[in-house]
Amino acid sequence: MELLNVDSITMKFGGLTAVGNFKLKILPGELIGLIGPNGAGKTTVFNMITGIYTPTINKIYFQDQDITGIKPDKIAKVGIARTFQNIRLLDNLSVIDNVMIGFHLHLKSNLASAIFKFPSYVREEESIYHKSMELLGKVELEKFKLEKAGSLPYGQQRKLEIVRALATGPKLLLLDEPAAGMNPQETKDLMSFIQKIQDDFDLTILLIEHDMKVVMGICRRILVMDYGVTIAEGNPAEIQNNPEVIKAYLGVDVNYA
Amino acid sequence: MKKQNEKILTILALIVLGILVYLAENNLDAYKLRILNLGAIYVTLAVSLNLIYGFTGQFSLGHAGFMAIGAYVTSLLVLPPYYKEMIYILEPLAWPFTVIHAPFIVALFLSGLFAAIAAFIIGLPVLRLKGDYLGIATLGFAEIIRIIANNIPRVTNGALGIKGIPEFTNLWWSVGVAIVTIYIIKGLIESSYGRALMAIRENEIAAEVIGVNLTYHKVMSFTISAFFAGVAGGLFACLLTTIDPKAFMFVMTFNILIVVVMGGLGSITGTVLAAFLFNFFLEYLRPIEAGFNIGPIKIPQVPGMRMVTFSALLLVVILYKQKGLLGGFEFSWKGFFQFINKLFKNKRSSEGSTM
């Protein structure tokens, strides 16, 4: 049974079709890459899966449950987490708070017990704190726990955002250009980090990325989009030799070359 | 420092505050007491506005409206029935209001409750708006409340207002309510729910995608904020002993907003400080309105000059301290002792250098 089933969805903004007839089935444990030139509609796909947009036509199913048009916080609750292309951290909150907020959707204490600090609430908060520190340890950010998230260097902000997504306890993780702005060494570390968290947290990952080394290196299946439609699908080798893909990226005819 | 010790220190500080209130109540004249009372009521108002604006990031301008609801609820509940008959001259008071009567504390609680219910009803649709639009919508709500108060003379006595409200409010009440407000709002902010509120302030989309239910948290924050504004409205009515719709014009909200911005968005300590400073200065600057001389230049008497001065002061604060007087700073015992330690260390080291 597939984890996510995107059933040929279409997203229109007025007269513009940002995404047309997009189909995607993800099996548990997969690591799939979604690539394509700028403006191809990749992030729009993410926005539809996470409930920020509702597809104009057709539906999205997660574990056979229809999640089309459900609010983003409910989607987080069923087990889909994401990061953003332009990092969206809670800049003025501390690093540890940025991770602890990820556990908010699993919070059991009610408002009164939180305000008046009942023992049950204090225990829950402490356990959230320890879990958060453990997660921060995985990216070696423990020592920055009290720094403001916005003051971290760029690469560490990206890691923090991934850790925050992990804190929500997802089954499916959507990463939007995690390697953007990283140097070759950081990119290499990121690749092994993504594979490590996939094993550690038993995750299924869908990844948008422009850095072909990353995509070709860790994804076993790749989807290519251009102008809102899927133009190719297959393993890295197939994608690299697909004339449609080369055309989309380079804009030249393969026969001519 | 241990949590236990901090608790003891807080209790000691409260006892000292209690002694100060006792001394003030017995030694100060009515004029000074009025200013202190207003200061304490402003603490309640501004801390509650800071919850929705400073911590949740929702620009709400409806505080005067919630205050008005609280003020009228308290007035109608604490006025003795025979007295109500006397003051409703134009049109008699409508039925249930003629007989209802409650002790001050119950009246205050119900004031908060009614303001909170109003906030819940208005908040559900309105909190979908963002930024300036939310500000305009909540401002509109406050104006509607005021205009309704003006136009249902059988409940509110219309533009004549309600006079002769028993003067129940003293420093024990106003300071007590301020402390309860601070305690509850601080407790909320320092909890995981407070973290969710600040997440909404920082980045709404990120908060939602992490699993923070925007509607629930915004409406919760708005409702709690309105509850305390309502209670403050009740205290306000029983301090001034007379209320009419004009008391709850936009200027009221604006004053509270000045306090919040001056004190620092997201700082309770700053808000408390600014609330008292605001009320002291408002009185201290009174002579300005009477006209004065700067050397040979004669400044004539200008009513409203105080507010002009205040706006200028606000401009200076915004220009030089964008985050308000205290920014995001918050008082804590740990910080307090670190500060004292540093003070003494500096002294010692400077003494050492002179030797």
DSSP letters, B238-294, are HHHS-B-GGGGSHHHHHHHHHHHHHH-TT-HHHHHHHHHHHHHHHHHTHHHHT-EEE
Which residues in chain B come in under a pLDDT of 70?
1, 347-355
Residue A96 lies in a domain: no
Backbone angles phi, psi at B11, to 5 degrees: -65, -40
Percent of chain A with pLDDT over 70: 98
Residue B27 DSSP class: H
Strand pairing category for A16-26 and A4-13:
antiparallel
* Region at B131 (left for phi over 0; alpha for psi -120 to 50; beta for the rest): left
Among A101, A111, A165, beta carbon nearest to B195 = A101
Q: Tell me whether residues B196 and A101 touch, CB distance under 8 A.
A: yes
C-alpha distances out from residue B172 to A102, B36, B334, Å: 42, 11, 28
Q: Tell me whether residues A50 and B328 touch, CB distance under 8 A.
A: no
Among B188, B192, B212, beta carbon nearest to A73 = B212
ipTM: 0.92
The model's pTM: 0.91
Q: Tell me whether residues A104 and B202 touch, CB distance under 8 A.
A: no
Residue A100 lies in a domain: no
CA distance A105 to chain B (A): 5
Residue B130 lies in a domain: yes
**H helices within chain B, ranges in order?**
3-27, 30-50, 63-78, 81-87, 95-99, 104-126, 131-151, 153-156, 171-189, 192-202, 204-210, 214-240, 250-263, 268-284, 286-289, 305-320, 333-354
Q: Tell me whether residues A101 and B214 touch, CB distance under 8 A.
A: no
Residue B101 DSSP class: -
Distance CA A183, CA A226 (A): 27
Q: Tell me whether residues B187 and A100 touch, CB distance under 8 A.
A: no
Question: Which residues in chain B are closer than 8 Å to A125, comparing Cβ atoms?
Answer: 191-192
Q: Tokens 């402003």, residue?
A: B42
Residue A9 lies in a domain: yes
Give the residue among B47, B272, B73, B249 at the shortest CA–CA distance from B159. Answer: B249
Backbone angles phi, psi at A10, to 5 degrees: -130, 140
Give the residue among A75, A9, A81, A31 at the shortest CA–CA distance from A209. Answer: A31
What's residue B354's pLDDT?
A: 45
Strand pairing category for A204-208 and A4-13:
unpaired
Give the residue among B81, B82, B115 at the shortest CA–CA distance from B99. Answer: B81
What's residue B290's pLDDT?
A: 77
Residue A225's domain is classified under what CATH number?
3.40.50.300
Distance CA B246, CA B149 (A): 10
Residue A241 lies in a domain: yes
- Supply B140's token pair: 């509109």
pLDDT digits (tens, 9 = 90+) for B82-98: 888 888 877 888 878 88
Give the residue among B253, B103, B74, B108 at the shortest CA–CA distance from B178. Answer: B108
3-state class percentages of chain A: helix first, strand second, coil last, to nearest 5 = 45, 25, 35
Among B208, B220, B328, beta carbon nearest to A111 = B220
Residue A109 DSSP class: S
**CB-based contacts of B158, cutoff 8 Å, min separation 6:** B90, B91, B149, B150, B151, B152, B245
- Supply B125's token pair: 């649709």
Report yes or no: B195 at the A interface, CB cutoff 8 Å. Answer: yes
Distance CA B263, CA B274 (A): 5
**Which SS3 state, helix, strand or coil, does residue B211 take?**
coil
Residue A117 lies in a domain: no
Number of domains chain A contains: 1
C-alpha distances out from residue B274 to A113, B163, B264, Å: 30, 30, 9
**CB-based contacts of A244, cutoff 8 Å, min separation 6:** A224, A231, A232
Residue B178 lies in a domain: yes
Residue type, A70: I
Q: Tell me whether residues B199 and A93 touch, CB distance under 8 A.
A: yes
Locate the chain A residue with the closest alpha carbon to B200: A90
Inform me whether the pLDDT recorded for A157 exceeds 90: yes
Among A50, A52, A115, beta carbon nearest to B184 = A115
Residue A197 lies in a domain: yes
What's residue B326's pLDDT?
A: 78
Question: Which residues in chain B are closer than 8 Å to A102, comparing Cβ atoms?
Answer: 210-211
Residue A205 lies in a domain: yes
Locate the chain B residue with the closest alpha carbon to A49: B209
Contact B59, B126 (CB under 8 A): no
Give the residue among B151, B125, B148, B152 at the shortest CA–CA distance from B138. Answer: B125
CA distance B194 to chain A (A): 9
Which residues of chain B from 130 to 189 reach within 8 Å of chain A, CB to CB?
Answer: 184, 187-188
Inform me whether the pLDDT recorded for A247 exceeds 90: no
Q: Tell me whether residues A88 and B187 touch, CB distance under 8 A.
A: no
CA distance B176 to chain A (A): 17
Number of domains chain B contains: 1
Residue B162 lies in a domain: yes
Distance CA A127, CA A108 (A): 12
CA distance A5 to chain B (A): 20
Range of the domain at A41: 4-88+155-250
Which residues of chain B from 209 to 248 reach within 8 Å of chain A, CB to CB?
Answer: 209-214, 220
Give the residue among B338, B234, B210 at the shortest CA–CA distance from A100. Answer: B210
Q: Tell me whether residues A73 and B196 touch, CB distance under 8 A.
A: no
Question: Which residues in chain B are closer than 8 Å to A107, comparing Cβ atoms?
Answer: 192
**Which SS3 state, helix, strand or coil, does residue A173 take?**
strand
Question: Which residues in chain A are closer than 8 Å to B209, comparing Cβ atoms?
Answer: 50, 52, 72-73, 76, 81-82, 88
Backbone angles phi, psi at A14, to 5 degrees: 60, -120
Backbone angles phi, psi at B100, to 5 degrees: -65, 145
Range of the domain at B123: 3-290+300-333
| Positive or negative: CA dihedral B168, B38, B54, A93 | negative
Distance CA B144, CA B297 (A): 45
Give the residue among A222, A234, A216 at the shortest CA–CA distance from A36. Answer: A222
Strand runs (DSSP E) across A75-215, as ranges?
A: 80-82, 172-176, 204-208
Q: Tokens 């509650």, residue?
A: B48
Residue B347 lies in a domain: no
What's residue B84's pLDDT?
A: 83
CA distance B129 to chain A (A): 16
Among B198, B203, B210, beta carbon nearest to A168 = B210
**CB-based contacts of A3, cutoff 8 Å, min separation 6:** A26, A27, A28, A62, A63, A171, A172, A204
Contact A166, A102 (CB under 8 A): yes
What's residue A257's pLDDT?
A: 47
Average pLDDT, rounded, for chain A: 92
Give the residue among A225, A236, A240, A174 at the shortest CA–CA distance from A35. Answer: A225
Inform me whether the pLDDT recorded for A35 exceeds 70: yes
Within a 13 Å sphere around the CA of B231, how many CA atoms are in the beta-carbon half?
Answer: 29
Report yes or no: B265 at the A interface, CB cutoff 8 Å. Answer: no
Q: Tokens 């997201």, residue?
A: B266
**Which SS3 state, helix, strand or coil, does residue B296 take?**
coil
Percent of chain A with pLDDT over 90: 80
Q: Tell me whether residues A73 and B202 touch, CB distance under 8 A.
A: no
Residue A120 lies in a domain: no
